[in-house]
Structure 1
Amino acid sequence: MTEVDWSAGAAYIDGEFMPLKDAKLGITEWGYRRSDVTYDVVGVYYGAFFRLDDHINRFRTSMTKLRMNPKESDDEIKSVLAELVRRTGLREAYVAMDCVRSRPPRGVPLHPINGRSYLICHVMPWVWVFTPEQQERGVHAMVASPQRIAPESLDPTIKNFHWGDLTRGNFEAHDEGAETCVLLDRDGNVTEGPGFNVFAVIDGRVITPKHGALQGITRKTVIELCDEFGIRCEVRDISRNEFEAADEIFFSTTAGGIMPVSRLAKRILGNDRPGPISAQLRAAFWEKRKDGWHATPVSYAS
């Protein structure tokens, strides 16, 4: 028998394991055609998951809000993710879990209540939202013109693939010479960016939006670090004017950790390098990760 090469990634679809290159989704599935799907992403670094229980809990909450109930329990999902990482042997991995709604079978009304939900997971080599080089010198960002989808239309605490507004903003940023964007809500307050939460440092206080954004796991970690270091952290609305005048700005996400910003549109923050609080939090985040903070080690033995 030919030995399977799992090194490029592994996948699990509705009860079956396979190499990532063999994973397929039917083109009639509503997860694809209607974006009727929720997902979560947990990172593996230094051979361990980071805050795995937090990610599983958020994933389950999202599924429940969307009336999705795959056959796997939370513990079984953890086991699937661990097995995928074990098969790849990756010690630095991007680990995704999706719950997809299928198209209802023929003969029943085309209503989502008749669509079965099932689990899709995959593991691939680690992905950086911004390269280490970008993070070292600070990300170049801008406030884009598209408004973030209103919470009344789509609950932002449900991790979702409705990225039309974020994609528009990213193209606008590219056209303006920036690397990414931040979107505002209809009241002119900061929400989030494409795949990351947003923080502003103002007069020594770290501030992150209260409304219109995903309740990120790394965001939660930043709040914990601030408490540990005695840095005042506020969760509240941030107006555009306040944000654009901030002393420091940084982002947070699973696929990157804490990522400082050195430019916002044409404004250069500080000395065109990460600010002191952003740099302190970023360094502490990775040092503590290396020491096993909130870690669930992966067992790589067969």
Structure 2
Amino acid sequence: MGLIQAERIMREDPAHARLPHDADYAHGAAFIDGRFCSVDTAAIPITDVGFLHADAAYDVVSASAGQLFRLPEHLARFEQSCAAFRLRNPYNERQTIAVLSRLVQLAGTREAYVWWCVTRGAMPDSGSERGNPSAYRNCFYAFVIPYLYIADDDTRNRGLDLRVSEQHIRIPEQAVDPTAKNFHWMDMKLSLFEARDRGADFSVLLDARGNLTECPGANLFLVRQGQLYTPDSGCLAGITRATVLELAAARGLPAHLTRLPASALREADEAFLTSTAGGIMPVNSVDGRQLGSGGPGPLTTQLHNDYWEKRWAGWHGTPVDYSAAQTTHTDLLIEARHHP
């Protein structure tokens, strides 16, 4: 059994084709604190401390074949992230869904990468109030672009080459909660640069005790003797990660959330990464050591194909209504209403 060539199917199959859209939205659509615009003209105020201090929570959901995947779970995680950082989404759930759906409509994207965040907002007029969460007006921003693959068909067919970072560790949980999706990416970015400098595709970060955590923007799984293992701490509670656990249960595959040393990954039979921007991504090697016979292993291939087949069949999907895509631009201002 080979991997489903998901990228090619999404690019060539008419069921996945992009719909007609205004030329302004050729590269995508954005929503900037109350107004829709093209992604090319979107901008945030330079004094927003989301920009100045990475003070924000965000989330990403994907659409395929015109269906948003596990949207309720993404929305719930987003609200949990906001609560963890004492942020408040100025839109309720219904309004948030309306904004995200409208962006997908405007861009005409059946295959879409849908990103949104709440930032702290501009610095208060009085510097003495910067430690008071209620002194800020939290702001909502979002954008939609055509689906973004962080591992294309060719890369998934051969499998990713990973490097366990030697220069960087994951930000400790006591500093920034990794289960709340946040802008604190410098540890992950620097480890990714390190991996690329060493000829690898992707990095893996350890915690201060030498246990596996996650990869830049992706959760990590390994397979040993027909069983799945994934780190239980130091990582995002990924929606694709949860999906893999559900798929594994359906196949009767034992799965373990546990502490894992780096050696467990290097000695695995198979490994793969999971992310909204890529789905299930097979691993070929770790620190120059090939896993198994190299490339996608049999269990990885099964789970990868299950993931796309079930998604395209409507599993956990929220269909986008594209019939409103031609609405005139006079209705594009949405008033922010805080939760009662």
Does structure 1 residue 35 correspond to structure 2 residue 54? yes
Q: Distance in 1 between matches of 2:201 and 2:26?
A: 30
SS for the counterpart of 1:153 is: coil
* Counterpart residue type for residue 130 of structure 2: L
Per-residue CA distance 1:46-90 (angstroms, 9 max, x = gap) = 111000000000001101111111320011101100000001111
1:129 to partner: Cα distance: 1.3
CA contact (8 A) 2:267 2:291 kept: no
Counterpart-to-counterpart distance in 1, 2:234 and 2:305: 28
Q: Distance in 2 between matches of 1:248 and 1:74?
A: 39
Structure 2 unaligned residues grouped into runs of 5+: 1-21, 325-340
Q: What TM-score do you get using the length of structure 2 for normalisation?
A: 0.86
CA–CA separation in structure 2 for the residues paired with 1:105 and 1:188: 41
Determine if contact 1:38/1:99 at 8 Å carries over to the other structure. Answer: yes
1:175 to 194, 197, 211: 197
Measured after TM superposition, the shift of residue 111 of structure 1 is 2.5
Cα 1:112/1:249, change in 2 over 3 Å: farther
Please tell me the root mean square deviation across aligned C-alpha atoms, in Å.
1.1
Aligned 1:143-158 pairs, distance under 5 A: 143-145=164-166, 146-158=168-180
- 1:7, distance to aligned residue in structure 2 (A): 2.6
1:197/1:219 contact within 8 Å kept: yes
Take 1:178 and 1:209, find their aligned partners in 2: how far apart are those partners?
22
Name 1:220's counterpart in structure 2: 242
Instruction: Compute the displacement of 1:4 (Å).
Output: 5.8
Task: Describe the SS at the equivalent of 1:215.
Answer: coil
Q: What amino acid is the match of 1:97?
A: W
- Using the TM superposition, give the Cα deviation of residue 103 of structure 1 relative to its aligned residue in structure 2, in angstroms: 2.4
Give the corresponding residue for 2:131: 111
- Which residue identity is paired with 2:190? R
Q: Note if contact 2:74-2:239 (Cα within 8 Å) is conserved in structure 1.
A: yes
Partner of 1:122: 143
Identify which of 241, 249, 253 aligns with 2:263.
241
| AA of the residue aligned to 1:13 | I
Give the Cα separation in 1 of the matches to 2:309 and 2:130.
51
- The answer for the alignment partner of 1:13 in structure 2 is 32
Q: Which ranges in structure 1 are unaligned for 5 or more consecutive residues?
A: none
Q: Distance in 2 between matches of 1:147 and 1:112?
A: 31
> C-alpha distance in 1, partners of 2:290/2:245?
26
Q: Answer yes or no: is the 8 Å Cα contact 1:93–1:123 preserved in 2.
A: yes
Matches within 5 A, 1:29-178: 29-107=48-126, 109-113=129-133, 114-145=135-166, 146-178=168-200
CA distance in 1, matches of 2:210, 2:126: 47
Once residues 126 and 77 of structure 2 are traced to their aligned partners in structure 1, the CA distance between those partners, rounded to angstroms, is 34
* Structure with greater contact order relative to length (CA < 8 Å, sep ≥ 6): 2
Per-residue CA distance 1:149-177 (angstroms, 9 max, x = gap) = 00000100010111111111111111110
Q: Structure 1 283/4 Cα, relative in aligned 2: closer, same or farther at 3 Å? A: closer
Cα shift at 1:105 = 3.1
Q: Percent identity?
A: 40
Equivalenced residues, count: 300
**TM-score normalised by L of structure 1:** 0.97
